[in-house]
Amino acid sequence: MKKTLLTAFAFGVLVLAVPKAYVYALPNITPPLQPAIDTTKLVETLKTAYGKIINQILTVVNTAQGYLTQMPVPEGSSCSVDTSLQKLETYLTDQLAKVEAATTLAELQAIQKETVTYLKDHKEDITNSVNNYVDCAYTATVSSLNTYLTYADAQAKVMELKGEDTTQLKSDISSARSLVAKSQSEYDAATSNKEKNQAYKTLSQTAPYIQSINTILTQ
Amino acid sequence: MKNSWPLIIIILVLILGIGAFAVMALKKQPASTVNSKSKDTTERLEETKETKQTNETPQTGAATNPTPDSLIKSLKALGQDTPNTSIDSQTSSMETIK
């Protein structure tokens, strides 16, 4: 009887103590409690994130538009901005409105997928629009510059016939012509936009000479 | 004498006709060409200068006569740095957020 009671006690101790000891000894095995996902909060977070990114791209588009708007071409010439910039701006504005109106994760995921696909397909649109316009402005400026320098040459001859000093005028014309030639050479050899930019900058260096020529001719 | 009247009339008509033709031909000729014989080189170059200066006033569509001001503005604009036109990083961010 005593032996039976001892055995039962020992069994009871084992049954109660072992699981307890197991929990203490290996606490990490117990799976952590999963917090409930707040879908509404997640939707709002994603809306904010998508909206921020779309606005950043709109800023790039608007900066490019502003740059082209402020880039004049010489009188008598005209260059036009292609419609792709405007289309991209309209698309992004629409997507922004869709993001704002979205209420579910599924809607947001669909907008995200659609927007990413569109942006990948049109990622060169901004660069191409800017480059095409600046190329046109450059060509028109070179043409006008050559016309003006030819006119300045004729005026120099007139001044010479009248016995006036044309040293400065001729020097300015020569300097401007050299820069035009250098710029055109750089432009023709350019294989990247960076190199074309160098040609634009070289051409822009003729501005002080044109200013000086104009001052002499209008004296 | 009586028989010579028709001949006189024909000759008069011919003279008048040739005169009228000559007047019309002169009118058609540009004034600068007519006067060029009486001008020396300096005067003609001076005239060219005056014409060019008149053309310096802004004219829409006058591709061959750029004003120095518009030319200088275009040149200065070409010297500016082009803005950043890449949207790669934004597209990548949009794709990554899930």
Asked if the model's pLDDT at residue A166 lies above 50, the reply is yes
Q: Hey, are the CB atoms on A53 and B42 less than 8 Å from each other?
A: no
State the Cα–Cα distance between residues B80 and A201, nearest whole angstrom: 7
Q: DSSP readout, B50-67?
A: HHHHHHTS--TT-TT---
Query: Distance from B54 to chain A by nearest Cα, in Å?
Result: 12
Instruction: State the Rg of chain A over Cα.
Output: 37
Residue found by looking up tokens 């053309």 in the block: B55
What is the count of structural domains for chain A?
2
Contact A134, A71 (CB under 8 A): yes
Asked if the model's pLDDT at residue A187 lies above 90, the reply is yes
Domain co-membership, A115 together with A154? no
Residues of A in contact with B64 (CB under 8 A): 76, 147
Query: Distance from A79 to chain B by nearest Cα, in Å?
Result: 12
Domain co-membership, A59 together with A116? yes
Q: Hey, are the CB atoms on A161 and B48 less than 8 Å from each other?
A: no
Q: Is residue A206 part of a domain?
A: yes
Domain co-membership, A166 together with A144? yes
Domain boundary among A103, A123, A143: A123
Domain co-membership, A151 together with A206? yes
Domain co-membership, A87 together with A135? no
Span A136-155, average pLDDT: 95
Q: Is residue A190 part of a domain?
A: yes
Q: Hey, how many other C-beta atoms are within 10 angstroms of the C-beta on A161?
A: 13
Domain co-membership, A137 together with A118? no
- Domain hosting A170: range is 131-217
Instruction: State the pLDDT at residue B67.
Output: 86
Domain co-membership, A107 together with A146? no
Q: Is residue A180 part of a domain?
A: yes
Domain co-membership, A47 together with A119? yes
Q: Is residue A6 part of a domain?
A: no
Residue A137 burial (C-beta neighbours within 10 Å; 0-12, 13-18, 19+): buried
Q: Please report, in tens digits, the pLDDT of each residue of chain B (98 residues total).
A: 557 777 888 888 888 888 877 777 766 554 443 343 334 444 444 444 443 343 333 333 334 567 899 999 999 999 998 899 999 999 999 999 87
Residue A85 burial (C-beta neighbours within 10 Å; 0-12, 13-18, 19+): buried
The pLDDT tens digits of the residues spanning A19-66 come to 555 555 555 555 555 556 788 899 999 999 999 999 999 999 999 999
Instruction: State the pLDDT at residue A38.
Output: 82
Q: Is residue A187 part of a domain?
A: yes
Q: Is residue A19 part of a domain?
A: no
Q: Hey, are the CB atoms on A60 and B86 less than 8 Å from each other?
A: yes
The pLDDT tens digits of the residues spanning A58-98 come to 999 999 999 999 899 988 888 998 899 999 999 999 999 99
Q: Is residue A24 part of a domain?
A: no
Query: Distance from A28 to chain B by nearest Cα, in Å?
Result: 29
Q: Hey, are the CB atoms on A158 and B46 less than 8 Å from each other?
A: yes
Instruction: State the pLDDT at residue A188.
Output: 95
Complex ipTM: 0.74
Instruction: State the pLDDT at residue A32.
Output: 55
Per-residue burial over B47-61, b if 16 or more Cβ lie within 10 Å, else e, is eebeebeeebeeeee
Q: Hey, are the CB atoms on A74 and B83 less than 8 Å from each other?
A: no
CA atoms B65, B67, B72, B73: torsion sign: negative
Per-residue burial over A32-60, b if 16 or more Cβ lie within 10 Å, else e, is eeeeeeeeeeebeebbebbeebbeebbeb
> Could you give the 3-state DSSP secondary structure of residue A122?
coil
